[in-house]
Each structure stands twice: as C-alpha cells, then as structure tokens.
C-alpha cells in the first residue's frame, strides 16, 4: 500500500497517545568499554543520567533500571519505550542499543542416562592431566541453569585453598547458603531481573531463586567441564558402569545461573536465558577472575555481533585473555544454522563416542534389526502385535502427523496391547514414548526420519523401547506393510564398547557456513555431544516429564551443549600448561591438532554415513593431548578482532575508546585465523597468515596442501625456518580459481538450484616439521563467485 501524507499525519497525531500505552520492554544500552578508572557509583550515576534524559522523572529513571554493567562492560539494561531506545541509540557514545531477547540452552530435547565418557579416559592416559596438574589452579566459569552442589562430582576433597586472585562471591538464596560453595565450586551467582520483567516473579516451585539447579542442564555442563573423577557410577537398569570425570577434574568452578524455566510450558520443560541477564553474568565472570567461560546457550535466529550479548561479553573477555567456548547449536542438518560464530569464540559442534547400547527389534518374519536403548524395562519374551502409529491414531489427526505419536494423537482402544512404531519429526523422543504409554501400548519403537539418518540418541523411556536409524525404520515399515498380523520383540540392551566406529557427526549439530560472516570458517571444532553421561540435579527427573518421578545423580544428554564443555575443560588444561598463551593461541592449538579421521582411519562421516566436511566439524575432532604441544600457533589479539570488526563495518568496532578504525583495515579473510574461508572467490586471492613457534627452538616446517576441487592453493614461502621459541613467521596462501572446464565444475548455470553451501569446495594446508612430531593443519573452504 502506498503510504499517503495523510497517513503520516494521522500517525503523528496518534503517536503521543500511543507512546503512553506502548509496551515498554527491556533494552540494553551499550557503551563499549569503560574509559579510564571510575568508581562504581560514578558509573551508576552516569548510566542514570542517560536514563534521566529520556524519562520524565528521577523516580521513573530509577525504577526502569535493571542492571548497570560496571566492570569490563559499560552499559545498562532498562525498560524503555521504542522511542526512548531510539533516542538513546542516536547518542554518539552509544555503540548499540540491543533489544533484550531470549536465548536457549543447547540440548536436544532428550534426557536420559547411561555409561562412562570413554573419550575422556582416552586422553587421561596421556600425561596432559599430570602436566596441567588436572587444571587445579585454573578457574572455569559456567553460565547455565545453576548447579546441584551436593553431587560427588563437585567434592572439594584434597583441593588446596581457593586461588587468591578470585574475586567472586557465593550468592545465597533458596536451598543455597554460603557453605554450598567450597574449594571446588568457588563461586555461584544468579541473574533473573530480565526474566522476571518478562514473565513476572519466578514460580519457586519450578526453580530455586538461587544458584541451585532445578533443571539439571547446568549441573551436567559444569561437571563435564570440571567434575571430579567419580568411580563406579552406574545407570538405571544396570547399564554401563565405571568412572565419570570432567575434562579438567581439579579445575575450580564458578557458576553463573542465567537460565530459568519458561512458565506454563507444559510437560516438555523449556528453559530460557535473557540477553540482559547473560550480559550481567559475563561482566561479573570477567571481573571475578575466570580463565575460561563455557556457554552452552545460543540465540534462536542469526544475530549480528553487536546485537548478541554472548558475542559482546566474549569480546570483553578476550581483552582479559579469557577463553570462551560456545555450543554451535542443534539446528542441523541444514546449512547456515550455526550460533555463536564470532571469531573470538570457540564454536563447538557435536559428534558421537565409541559406545553403543545395542538392542534388536526381532520381526515376525525372522528379520532382526539393530537399534539402541537405555530403557530399563523389558517385554515378556515372545512376539507381540506390532502397529505403526498411523494405524492406531485417532481419526482427527492429519495424515502427515499420524505417524509421529504427538501428545493426544493415539487412540487407547486401538493402541492398547501393541508395540507402537513412531517416527521422529516434531515432538520429543521421550514425549512420543509417553504418548504410547498413555494409550496403553506395551512397547515403543522410535524410527528416525531421513533427516536424522543413523544417529541414535538414547533415552530412558517409560515402557520397553528401542530407537532405530532411518534404514531400519524403513525395513520395519515395509514389514508392517507386507503382512496382515505383524509382530515383534525388543531384546534387552547391552552396552558395547568394541568395534564401534566413531566419531561421526551428530545429525542435530548445526552447520556452517556462518550465517553472520562467511569469511570465517565455522564451526571451529567438534567434541563428544551424543549420549554424554554427567552429573544431574536431584531436583528433577531424568526426563523432566510430569509422569517421571525417578531421581538420578547422573544422566545422559545429547546436544552441542554437551560438546562445548569438553572444549571448555580442555582449554582449562591448556591454560594451566601455558598460562601466558592468548585465548587465540589456545584455540589455535586445539584446532590445528584436531583429527579428521575416525577410529578405523576413514574420514569422519555425518549421521547418514556420508563423508563430513569442515562445515560440520570445523578443523576436526578435538585431541587435547596433542593440543598441549602444537608446534606452531596462529595468534590474534584483541586489536586484531577490532580491526576485523572495522572490515565488517559492525558498530561493535567502536566499543573501545582508545581505538579508531584505520582507513584500510585488513580484508576479512586476513584475520590470523587457524582456518581459511573464501565465500566468493573470483580470480585470485592472496591471504596472509603468521605463525608463532611454540615448539622446539630450532625447527624447520614444510608446507603441504590438499587444494579444494577446481582451486589451486600455493603457500609462499613453502618452508619456514625458526631459530627460537616465540619467533613469528609470515607466509601467504594464494588461492586461485582454475578454469572451470578443467575442474569439472562447468555446469554452474543451475547454481541457484544447488543449496547455497554446496557451492563450497573443501581442502586443507598444513605445516609439518621434518621429524614427524608436529602437523599443524588448517581446513580451507572456498566457494566460487
């Protein structure tokens, strides 16, 4: 519709009336860094004066303020009308005004329990833990849903005094007094102002108004970063039994609770974390003295860096040399689904471990298909009637949903006494099982849809159950189709630790390219995130469903939420070994030593068995023991990131008062990153990189290249000579599009039909010393223009 002048006049006349009833909401007014030392009350007064300039009264200004960010971060969160927010955003000193938004925890919606994290044991064998003294002088901050402090994973037995540099506090509240902090959990705080502004006061039967974790997620991630070694942890039903241990078992933990339950969310408990609360948590964590921040939280949709409080907080953290590890998100397998893609963050994808809980579905025709389960209930040993959900759904359920066992979709008259086959899709895995139980089913088979491939996240369901991959799901459906009275039996499950090919990438793990800035290859790395055992809250049940009254001390979860703290824990160990290394150097060490083959020496695959690429796993699967001694690192400073922001023209470039963008900032791909991405290659691009020698003092490194298909890659000089530790050497990478006929890429006319990321080709280059000790590898992703 054309907007006439009359329309505008009307709008103008209405505005004064409207603005008084316009919904006020929380905004963050962000000024960047503090300029010079200021007393806290001066900072508060300064923030107040800004608020006062848009509010009618002093009282109004005071009551609208939620947070004054006073430590590293300069800004405040307040309730504003859109006009007030806009007015403030026009001030010169304001870097950005950010709408307070909801973020969420990065678990797949499944909660269950089982065995022991084998891959952790694997690197325990190396002397990494000994060299790092198990991380005992390092402080890891975990921003999440709080902590269950009584878990044996958080025992402080044998730990020395709290490091003197620690400035944090133990904030008390519901079921949390100061003695809940100890020499293991050295600090705990909670942040709820923005949550309560949005939802009203916390319902204290749904969570504790304190750092105590009702949900379980925060306990799980904290114990994965730095839980103690706890022997003889067994799962319900007698599954895997053994040791649970965090990545850095003696690291000190600082808990920042910023995620809370969504009110009236129903059975499938949801959580949310508000950006204004998280920014306060990160500001405190930096001030308190954490060395590492582990954040398994992400935004719902791609958010520019200057609007994303995790990215902003992590940038302030970089200046204090704090490493931030974040989950990549669980929105795979589609491309462009990543969260947390800022180049000063370690973005972590999720992959499988070499353990399965094998159970078979035996079909009436004698066929036997393999699945996985940790459900501790068994069927009577005989064949039972088998139906697909659509055959026993109530008639009103639309056809496209009738196989999905959504709540209320099954008819008890028809489902009763059957094993019911349900397809994945919408709804949760546990919720579908609960629906089968509600309708009187005696067994539950969960079949993957095509998108889930062969990835099986196990659950502790409420009736005998099994989960099968896509191929076996189709076999079962064909069998049901082929006979009048289909029958089946589900065998009890066994934990299998041998002959399991791992890792493969989880189907849910979010994929690159980065939706925000394609010139940086993301994710950075992958770590275990499928069926991960860690400590749990005794304030909830393993599935968190209303009908679940089981209480467990350990539980299995899946998600990039689980892989991120593996990297957080590894970074803590590296920080202990190399206290002077920058956060970029530590990330570089983790990335350039990562593995791209699985345990049978074949390329790591996706959940369907296809070869995976760097948009799934970044540089590869983490190998922390190797990362302790990487040979060379790609370093980058806080200023380098600001220069990069100048190139991207993101307002966040103005966050530092003592920094101005140069006229010609370096091209985006020249950030000294341990990987290379060129989203639109046209002709030739010359990329600059600098490596720092952290290995033997005198050493020689030789370059090698596996170029992407249709692309030539040349490293110059091809050999680097180092004479001492700490020495830096620069080199160029010349990337050139070959004539496409030569490369078999001629039919590009229909490029629009190809999903955007399929235009990318992948390769790598590496630096190796002559002695076979070091191999410093970097992935390359190139898309032709």
Sheet holding 760-769, edge to edge: 676-681, 775-784, 760-769, 699-706, 719-722
Read off φ and ψ for residue 361, nearest 5 degrees: -100, 115
- Residue 560 and residue 505: Cα distance in Å, rounded? 11
d(CA 558, CA 397): 30
561 carries an active-site annotation: yes
Residue 607 CB, nearest approach to ligand NAG (Å): 16
CB of 388 to ligand NAG, least distance (A): 9
Q: Is 144 a catalytic residue?
A: yes
Comparing CB distances to ligand NAG, the nearer of 474 and 497 is 474
Instruction: Give the N- to C-terminal CA distance of the chain in Å, as an integer.
Output: 37
- β-strand pairing of 73-80 with 65-69: antiparallel
When CB distances to ligand NAG are compared, the closest residue is 425
SS (H, E, C) 402-444: CCCCCCCCECHHHHCCCEEEEECCCCCHHHHHHHHHHCCCCEE
Using an 8 Å Cβ cutoff, are 235 and 374 in contact?
yes
Residue 670's alpha-carbon distances to 215, 630, 687, in angstroms, are: 43, 22, 6
User: Which one, 61 or 677, has the nearer CB to ligand NAG?
Assistant: 61
- State the catalytic residue, choosing from 47, 48, 217, 578: 217
Kindly list the residues in this chain that would bind ligand NAG in the complex (CB under 6 A). Answer: 33, 35-36, 54, 87, 90, 177, 179, 203, 205-206, 398, 400-401, 425-426, 449, 474, 477-478, 481, 656-658
Q: Name the residue nearer to ligand NAG (CB basis): 566 or 653.
A: 653
CB of 474 to ligand NAG, least distance (A): 6
Min separation Cβ 477 and ligand NAG, Å? 4
Q: Which residues contact 237 (CB under 8 A, 6 or more apart)?
A: 374, 375, 376, 377, 460, 493
Q: Specify the residue, 331 or 656, whose C-beta has the smaller distance to ligand NAG.
A: 656
Q: C-beta of 297: minimal distance to ligand NAG in Å?
A: 23
**In whole angstroms, how close is the CB of 732 to ligand NAG at the nearest point?**
32
Q: 768, 774 in Cβ contact below 8 A?
A: yes
The least CB distance from residue 148 to ligand NAG, in Å, is: 12
For the bound state, the minimum distance from the C-beta of residue 334 to ligand NAG, rounded and expressed in Å, comes to 12
Biggest CA pair distance of the chain: 80
Nearer to ligand NAG, 425 or 666 (CB): 425
In whole angstroms, give the CA distance from residue 109 to residue 92. Answer: 44
Q: How far apart are CA 445 and CA 461, in angstroms?
A: 11
**Contact between residue 367 and residue 488 where contact means Cβ atoms under 8 Å apart:** no
Catalytic residue selected from 144, 277, 459, 613: 144
Is the Cβ of residue 84 or residue 354 nearer to ligand NAG in the bound state?
84
Q: Which residues contact 366 (CB under 8 A, 6 or more apart)?
A: none
Question: Given the DSSP bridges, would you call strands 25-33 and 96-99 parallel, antiparallel or unpaired?
Answer: antiparallel
Indicate which residue of 275, 351, 352, 561 is catalytic.
Answer: 561
CB atoms inside a 10 Å sphere around CB 424:
23
Query: Between 149 and 707, whose beta carbon lies closer to ligand NAG?
Result: 149
CA–CA separation, 655 vs 320, rounded Å? 15
Confirm if 550 and 541 have CB atoms less than 8 A apart: yes
R_g (Cα) of the chain, nearest Å:
27
Q: What angle do CA 347, 191, 174 make, to 5 degrees?
A: 125
Which sequence positions are flagged as catalytic? 144, 217, 561
């Amino acid at each position: 519709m054309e907007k006439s002048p009359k329309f505008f006049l009307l709008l103008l006349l209405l505005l004064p009336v409207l603005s008084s009833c316009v919904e006020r909401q929380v905004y963050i007014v962000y000024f960047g860094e503090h300029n010079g030392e200021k007393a806290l009350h001066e900072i508060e007064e300064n923030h107040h004066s800004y608020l006062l300039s848009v509010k009618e009264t002093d009282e109004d200004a005071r009551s609208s303020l939620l947070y004054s960010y006073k430590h590293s971060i300069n800004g405040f969160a307040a309730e504003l009308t859109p006009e007030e927010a806009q007015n403030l955003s026009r001030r010169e000193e304001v870097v950005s005004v950010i709408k307070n938004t909801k973020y969420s925890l990065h678990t797949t919606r499944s909660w269950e329990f089982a065995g022991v994290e084998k891959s952790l044991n694997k690197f325990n064998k190396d002397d990494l833990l000994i060299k790092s003294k198990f991380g005992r002088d390092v402080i890891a901050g975990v921003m999440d849903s709080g902590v269950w402090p009584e878990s044996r994973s958080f025992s402080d037995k044998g730990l020395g005094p709290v490091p003197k540099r620690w400035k944090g506090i133990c904030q008390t509240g519901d079921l949390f007094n100061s003695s809940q902090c100890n020499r293991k959990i050295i600090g705990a705080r909670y942040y709820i102002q923005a949550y309560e502004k949005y939802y009203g006061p916390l319902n204290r039967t749904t969570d504790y108004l304190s750092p105590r974790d009702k949900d379980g997620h925060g306990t799980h991630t904290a114990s994965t970063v730095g839980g103690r070694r706890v022997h003889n942890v067994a799962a319900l039903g007698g599954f895997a039994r053994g040791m649970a241990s965090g990545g850095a078992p003696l690291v000190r933990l600082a808990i920042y609770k910023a995620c809370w339950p969504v009110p009236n969310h129903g059975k499938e408990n949801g959580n949310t974390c508000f950006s204004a609360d998280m920014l306060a948590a990160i500001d405190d964590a930096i001030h308190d003295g954490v060395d590492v921040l582990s954040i398994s939280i992400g935004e719902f949709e791609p958010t520019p860096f200057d609007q994303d409080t995790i990215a902003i907080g992590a940038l302030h953290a970089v200046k204090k040399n704090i490493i931030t590890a974040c989950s990549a998100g669980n929105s795979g397998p589609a491309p462009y689904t990543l969260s947390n893609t800022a180049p000063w963050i370690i973005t972590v994808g999720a992959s499988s471990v070499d353990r399965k809980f094998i159970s078979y579905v035996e079909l009436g025709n004698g066929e036997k298909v393999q699945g996985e389960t940790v459900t501790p209930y068994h069927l009577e040993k005989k064949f039972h009637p088998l139906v697909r959900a659509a055959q026993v759904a109530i008639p009103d359920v639309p056809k496209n949903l009738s196989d999905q066992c959504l709540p209320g979709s099954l008819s008890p008259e028809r489902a009763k006494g059957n094993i019911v086959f349900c397809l994945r899709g919408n709804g949760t895995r546990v919720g579908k099982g609960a629906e089968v139980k509600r309708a009187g089913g005696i067994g539950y088979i969960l079949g993957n849809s095509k998108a889930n491939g062969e990835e099986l996240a196990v659950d502790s369901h409420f009736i005998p159950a099994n989960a099968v991959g896509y191929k076996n799901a189709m076999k079962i459906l064909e069998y049901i189709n082929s006979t009048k009275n289909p029958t089946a039996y589900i065998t009890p499950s066994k934990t299998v630790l041998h002959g399991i090919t791992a890792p493969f990438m989880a189907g849910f793990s979010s994929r690159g390219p980065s939706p925000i800035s394609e010139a940086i290859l993301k994710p950075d790395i992958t770590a275990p995130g499928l069926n991960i055992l860690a400590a749990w809250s005794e304030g909830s049940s393993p599935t968190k469903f209303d009908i679940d009254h089981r209480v467990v001390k350990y539980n299995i979860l899946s998600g990039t939420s689980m892989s991120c703290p593996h990297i957080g824990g590894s970074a803590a160990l590296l920080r202990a070994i190399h206290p002077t290394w920058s956060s970029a150097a530590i990330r570089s060490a983790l990335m350039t030593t990562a593995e791209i083959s699985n345990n049978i020496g074949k390329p790591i695959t996706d959940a369907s068995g296809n070869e995976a690429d760097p948009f799934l796993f970044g540089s590869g699967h983490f190998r922390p023991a190797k990362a302790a001694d990487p040979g060379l690192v790609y370093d980058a400073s806080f200023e380098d990131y600001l220069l990069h922001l100048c190139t991207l023209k993101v307002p966040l470039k103005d966050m530092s008062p003592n920094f101005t963008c140069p006229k010609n900032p370096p091209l985006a791909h020249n950030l000294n990153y341990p990987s290379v991405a060129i989203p639109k290659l046209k002709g030739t691009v010359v990329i600059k990189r600098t490596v720092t020698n952290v290995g033997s003092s005198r050493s020689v490194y030789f370059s090698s290249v596996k170029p992407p298909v249709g692309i030539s890659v040349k490293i110059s000089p091809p050999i680097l000579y180092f004479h001492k530790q700490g020495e830096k050497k620069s080199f160029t990478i010349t990337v050139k599009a070959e004539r496409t006929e030569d490369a078999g890429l001629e039919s590009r006319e229909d490029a629009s039909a190809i999903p955007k990321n399929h235009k990318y080709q992948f390769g790598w280059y590496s630096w190796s010393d002559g002695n076979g000790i070091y191999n410093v590898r970097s992935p390359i992703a190139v898309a032709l223009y």
